[in-house]
Amino acid sequence: MTQQPDVLWLSVSPSLQCFDRPLLSVLASQANVVQWQYCQGQDEASSLSNAVHLLHNHFRAD
């Protein structure tokens, strides 16, 4: 049985992931961290609703 995460890290910008790594390594040493990433395609409309919908479906699947 897998342990429930203490922290959910949402990442929606691949270009900013270099800033995520140091903080994630500190958090991971202190808590159970899971990461969820969403990369919007260039042809997709600029809307957060699709990412929120996908994240909601991810939690329902678990």
Q: Is residue 1 part of a domain?
A: no
For 32, the domain range is 7-61
Question: With 70 as the cut, is the pLDDT of residue 16 above it?
Answer: yes
- Confidence check: pLDDT of 62 > 70: no
**Is the pLDDT reported for residue 28 higher than 70?**
yes
Cα 34 to Cα 26, 27, 49: the distances in Å are 13, 10, 21
**Structural domain contains residue 11:** yes
Residue 2 lies in a domain: no
Report whether pLDDT(3) > 80.
no
Spatial contact of 7 and 33, defined as CB atoms under 8 Å apart = yes
How much is the average pLDDT of 28-41? Answer: 86
pLDDT of residue 26: 93
Closest listed residue to residue 14, CA positions, set 42, 31, 39, 47: 39
Residue 17 lies in a domain: yes
- What is the percent of the chain with per-residue pLDDT over 90, rounded to a whole number? 15
